[in-house]
Every structure is written in C-alpha cells, then in structure tokens.
Structure 1
C-alpha cells in the first residue's frame, strides 16, 4: 500500500549537464577542458541520457515512480546570444511527451547550475543584464513547451553561490591553521575533506585553491576575464540578490505566457542545529541560508526544498562531524532525519506548498540507500500528517552521473550505469522507492 496520499509525486531527479553529455556550448564544458581545471575529469558523453532518455524514463515508470525532475539546458536552447536552436527545442518536446506517455509528471528546471558560455563572457551571474537574458530564455521555453509542463523550477539551488563563498573562506582559515601543525599536502587535504562535506554540491576545494592563480590567465583566454562568474562561483551579496531578481523576472515572463504554470525555485538547505552556546551562530547561518530569501519567493506557487544532511554549530562556528558517524562518499554525515526538520522550519516561515526536489545519498552499498529513503520518506509522511502541504518527494538521483568537480566517482543513483557500454542496471532502491 502506498505510503503517500493520492496525487503525491514520487520520483527522481537529474540535471542536463550531469547526464546528457556533450554540452559543448556551456560554461562547464569550457572549464572541464582547461589545463588548470578544478574538475577531476571531464563530463564527455556523461551517461548519454540525451539519446537514451526514453529507456531511462521507461525504467522509472516501470518501477512505479510517477514523476521525473529534469533540466532544460540553456546552452543548448540558446547556444549563441539571441540565437535559439529549434532542433533542441524539439528534443526537449520529445522528452516531455515521453514523460506524459508513461504517465510521469515532469518537473522542469530551467537553470541547473550550467549557463551558456556567451553569458559568462558578458559578465555572468554578477552582471545585472543577466536578469534580462534569463527572463528572455524562460519566456521562449514557455512559449515553445509550456503546454507540456505544469511544475517549473526557474533556478536550482539559488543560494549555492553564497554557500560556496562561505566555505571557500572557511577552507582558507582551516588550511592556514592546520599548516601550522602539519606538512602542507596533508593539511590541505584534511581541510578540503572537512569543508567539502559541509556543502551540498561536488567540489574539489584543494584543487580549486591550488590552481587559482594559474587559472586566471587561462580564464582570460577562455572567457575574456580572469574571474568568470558562473552560477556556482563564490557569490557577492549583490550577486546573491541578482539571482533572486532573475527568478522573479523569469516567473513574470513565464506567467505572462502561461498563467497556469506552477512556478518556484529550489534552495539547498541543511538541518541547522545548535549546541549550547551556538544558538546565535546557528541563527545567523539560517538567516544566510534561507531567511533572507523569503521576501523574494513568498508569492511563488511552491517551494523546492533540497536537503542531504545537517550542520551543527557551537559558539565557534560549524562543528566537525560527530566521531563515529557514518559518512557518504561526499563526506556528508548520513542523517535522513534532516529532511523533515528542514520541511518544518521552511514551512513555518514560508507557508507555501513544498516539493522535495532533491534528497539522496552517495554510497556504494544500496542497502544503505534503501534505509535512507525509508527514514527520509517516513519523515515526509509525518510532516504531511501534521498538515504541512508537501506535494512530492524526488530522490537525487535517477542515475549515477557526473557529480560536477568530483566526476563520476559519487554514486547517488537508483540506476547504475556502465559508462563503457552505457548499459543501465536498476538497483533495488529503485523498486523500493517505486513501491512507496
């Protein structure tokens, strides 16, 4: 019997650049090819979802899932400024039609970290004109494909740039402190692992910092600037608000074309907890991670909540992971209870329908994934029983894929992919989630 109420969306998520492959007009593709790249490996063909989406969506549906969150790639739709590629529009039309043919509700994200390279050459996500460019792109997609969509996330994890700015500063402080006690190599590696485990995206902090100076000249050659402002660059407070204004402009453009579309965005949230004495520090962190965005999203149709773990604070700042705690491949603490806590905190302040647009675990042992899904979804059901309007749970991710700077080593997927043959193999967790 279903764990969830009738009409609840149970599904899985992907992002275009992480699964499609050959996203050659994007900023990330350019960065992956650089000599002094921060990426472990390039994305290349990814898991070839661009050509294999029908089989992947069929596997999802056959397992009992009724929703699929995926992103439309701006760099494919508008590979050069003002030039829209109708062939790519037709590709995404077919993806949407495939979802509907399998009775799967598509949840479409219009920006999942990657941008067209030309946008970054024009100043990227610190340039006010980006608001206009993004709204124009969103309007065009809605004009072409809006009749096939119902739920739209304008921007994925709109708060990620501010989180990266904070952890970059934290990493430098940690590394300097550890360098007084150990040799540089070991100290920086230890600091990198500690810091990377506190942000919900795949980063290589040690490689980023080591290559920073060498990257400047190469960035100038590739992007026309020493400091390209991609969406997940360490963001200024002004750039942070720019992303919110881009969301609002995009929502306005979407609604002018199709007022019936349900529009929101997603934020990356931790279950922020305080030890005695750490209450003030934790409150400040929650303000930066969530509270100051509320005025910009309070009139949205829904809120996309993304959570993977918790963060604990004392009077000195973020605490190390508890000794003996089980960690994921991403160095997150395995803490499925964090999801329900975040839902309760967000709803208390936002009073909007909440869709869990990402929640998952990178582990090689699929039994751990099943246990994580079981615990996390029980928490979602508890929230629903308390009267919180949670409308869906979308696990990250449908397939093992390209985890940004960490490459293909992080296995989040419900489906395993042999990247030599591109053969798919369902893990038991896929059927387990479908059975809920």
Structure 2
C-alpha cells in the first residue's frame, strides 16, 4: 500500500473493518480526576514552590471520586465501549500492608457500573503516583519497590480480577524515570543518572513481578505497559551527529523497556549513564500487548551540553495549546515500528490534544483514527484506542493550564460540558458500531 495522504481525511476514516471486539474508549488517571488525595508523593511535591504552573494544587481535581455514576453516564453517552483508568495505590494501601476495604469497594463498584452499561474496564496499577510511605523509603529505587508492586498487583487481581480482563502494570515508565531522576521536574525531583538507571531497573522488575501476580490471580488476563512513544527525526538529516542523537533517543526512551521484556533482561545504555545489563527470566513473556501513548514528533539535535546529549524541537506542523506539533502520520509510523520490533498486539492506550477552545479535537480524532485504520489495513493488530481524556483534569506540572477533555470541566462548579470533540468521538463510535454484525 502507498502511504496515505493526511491532507484530506475521509469523513469515515475507518478504511478497513475493525474486529467485533475492538475497544473504542476514553482514558483517565486517578490522581488527575478523582481529587481529595493527600497520601501520595505528588500531593507532597505540589507543596514545593514553583513546581506547578500557577502554584496550582490538585485539590478536588474533577471530583470524579464523588461523581462516578455521572461520569460513567458521560462515557456511555459518547458511545464508548471501554474505559482505561487507574486505581490510586495510596488510597488502597495507606500504610504498608494495610488495605482499605472502603477504597477497594469503591473501585469494585466503579467497575460494576461500567460493566452494567457495556463498557470494558482496563485498569492501570501505577500511573505515576506512589504511596507517601513508599516514597519516603526510596520510591522506585527502594529495594522493596518491586515486591511492593507485586503485592499490590496480587491484591488488585484477587479483589477486582473477576471483572477485569485488561491491565496496564505501569504508565509511561520511561517518562517517570526521565522526569523524576534526569531533569528533576517530577517527584522525587532528582538529577542523578545512577539513580535514574536504578529507577528504570526498579520499574522493570516491578512490571515483571506484577505481571506474574496478575497471571496467578486472573488466568486469561491481558497485560501490558503503556509507553510514551515519540517519533524522532534528526533536525539536520545531513548531520551525522543529529542522526546519532536520534538513534540514542529512540533506543533509550522508546525501546529500552520493551526490548528488556523481549530479551528477558534489564538493559539500558545511554551516554553518560551507568550501563544496565542484568538477566531476569520473569521479564520474558510478561507482556501480551504493547500500550502506545502517542502525542508527538521530536526533531532532534545533538547537544553535548544536555544531560542526555540531545535537544528536542517541535516540527513545523500546527501546534496544540501545549506547543506540541499535531502530527497524525506519526501514529502510523509508531505503530509500524512497534509491530516490526515486537510482533505483539497493540493498544493505543492514550492519544489526545491540549485544546481549550475545542477547535482542534474533532479533526485530531479523525486524523489519528485514520492513521490507526491504515495500520490495521496493513495487518498490524491494533486491538483498541483510548482517547486522552474523558475530562479536563489536573495535568501534573502544568496544573490546570491545559485542557484535554472530551468534556470540558468548570472546576469551580464541577459542571461537565459537552464539546465538539465529544460530538466527533460519538460520530466515530457510531461508524464503528455500524461495522459490527
């Protein structure tokens, strides 16, 4: 097949029939929408002056903790048949080995409400936030971290697994490592390359042990990790060092985690970082799918003065409110590369745009659905798409300055507002439903 043109996207972007069990859903993360959480490392990090834009605190966020039934109704109104969300570890294990029954009941009820209206849940165990007690003991670099995550996974599988088929052990471990331990912009706010490698190793070990625990508790569970994958291209294609920097970025950021799973060994090699190379048999076969979070393309310049020896720039395309280039053909590129590299089914676990005015989201959805459908027409087994996000939310260090929601949220009143992106999502959902027998 010739590569598609993204200059003119058809009104029906689904150029090939999708499987009857295809997941067309929305995504959220507990800390970003639930609110009323103070027991994790992020809540403490927010108190450091200058860390969050505008000095914002997560506070009530979108108050999803108290509005589950309302928000399940909003998901149903979109025509979605799936919802990816995380369970907040600090609520469920507020002290080491102490499980909060009311919190578990809350999530069990949320899952039951989703299933009652035909919405498939996908659960994420660790979406960036760690219990405060674990952070105090070293967090990702603590010797106990992998076993603690394993214990959490086992408990989640035992309590919730009868009604959950799809699991993400981790969300964007590559981002959590780089932001927490290389540029220091996220908890624990460190710039230490040796600790960065230890954190990466901890996340890999934690994933492997958590996957093992879920398989024991939930036979038939489908397990993966959601990776932030970027299209990387040399800023100056003619300059060998820009091409080298691009390969380093792809190898260390995009591929190191799943390469380690594929090889059954913890492996990371980045210039200036300690080398990680350690066998771990439990990693092999620990993923049933690759979770792809796709948002952006980077143009890469070799920059020896930078911590990772690369400088990243946006491409020339239209920009979102976050200054991120909108580049739907990049999703097709990433899906091809993931499939060629791992030969595993793919879930698009996040894809979305910061767009407060709501003008970009509809075309964004349609163009990225087109890229996904093209990949499927080439035989790439894409099993689902989850749009980020259901609701406007607390966007980590950007606070409340960026709006990603299909539903806008007035954070003063918590009113949810239907936007043009929601209308397009529902239209695409109807097109998908019409393909099914």
TM-score band w.r.t. shorter chain: 0.7 to 0.9
User: Residue 424 of structure 2 aligns with which residue?
Assistant: 432
User: Residue 67 of structure 1 aligns with which residue?
Assistant: 82
Two-structure CA RMSD over aligned residues (Å): 2.2
User: Residue 321 of structure 1 aligns with which residue?
Assistant: 314
**TM-score (norm. length: structure 2):** 0.82
Q: Is 1:285 matched up with 2:272?
A: no
Quote how far apart the aligned CAs of 1:321 are: 2.7
Counterparts of 1:141-160 in structure 2 under 5 Å?
Answer: 141-160=156-175
Quote how far apart the aligned CAs of 1:32 are: 1.8
Verify the 8 A CA contact 2:166 2:221 in the aligned structure 1: yes
Distance 1:146 1:367, change over 3 A: same
In structure 1, what is the Cα distance between the partners aligned to 2:391 and 2:243? 38
Verify the 8 A CA contact 2:28 2:390 in the aligned structure 1: yes
Match for residue 65 of structure 2 among 32, 45, 50: 50
User: Residue 224 of structure 1 aligns with which residue?
Assistant: none
In structure 1, what is the Cα distance between the partners aligned to 2:222 and 2:13? 25
Counterparts of 1:380-391 in structure 2 under 5 Å?
Answer: 380-391=372-383
Runs (5+) with no aligned partner, structure 1: 170-204, 209-227
In structure 1, what is the Cα distance between the partners aligned to 2:192 and 2:361? 30
Deviation larger for 35-44 or 98-107: 35-44
Verify the 8 A CA contact 2:181 2:188 in the aligned structure 1: no
User: Residue 10 of structure 1 aligns with which residue?
Assistant: 24
Counterparts of 1:31-430 in structure 2 under 5 Å?
Answer: 31-34=45-48, 37-38=51-52, 40-164=55-179, 168=183, 229=188, 236-274=196-234, 275-277=237-239, 278-298=242-262, 299=285, 300-316=287-303, 317-322=310-315, 325-430=317-422
User: Residue 40 of structure 2 aligns with which residue?
Assistant: 26
In structure 1, what is the Cα distance between the partners aligned to 2:157 and 2:260? 21
Verify the 8 A CA contact 2:297 2:315 in the aligned structure 1: no
In structure 2, what is the Cα distance between the partners aligned to 1:314 and 1:74? 38
In structure 2, what is the Cα distance between the partners aligned to 1:119 and 1:243? 14
Verify the 8 A CA contact 2:181 2:192 in the aligned structure 1: no
Quote how far apart the aligned CAs of 1:138 are: 0.8
Verify the 8 A CA contact 1:415 1:425 in the aligned structure 2: yes
Distance 1:232 1:25, change over 3 A: farther
Verify the 8 A CA contact 1:64 1:431 in the aligned structure 2: no
SS in 2 for 1:159: helix
Verify the 8 A CA contact 1:398 1:413 in the aligned structure 2: yes
Distance 1:164 1:36, change over 3 A: closer
SS in 2 for 1:106: strand
Give per-residue Cα distances to partners, 1:134-185, cap 9 Å, x unaligned: 110110111111101010001100111343379729xxxxxxxxxxxxxxxx
Q: Which has the higher strand share?
A: 2
Quote how far apart the aligned CAs of 1:238 are: 2.0
In structure 1, what is the Cα distance between the partners aligned to 2:315 and 2:399? 27
Aligned residue pairs, count: 379
**TM-score (norm. length: structure 1):** 0.82
In structure 1, what is the Cα distance between the partners aligned to 2:171 and 2:62? 21
Deviation larger for 408-417 or 276-285: 276-285
Distance 1:231 1:354, change over 3 A: farther
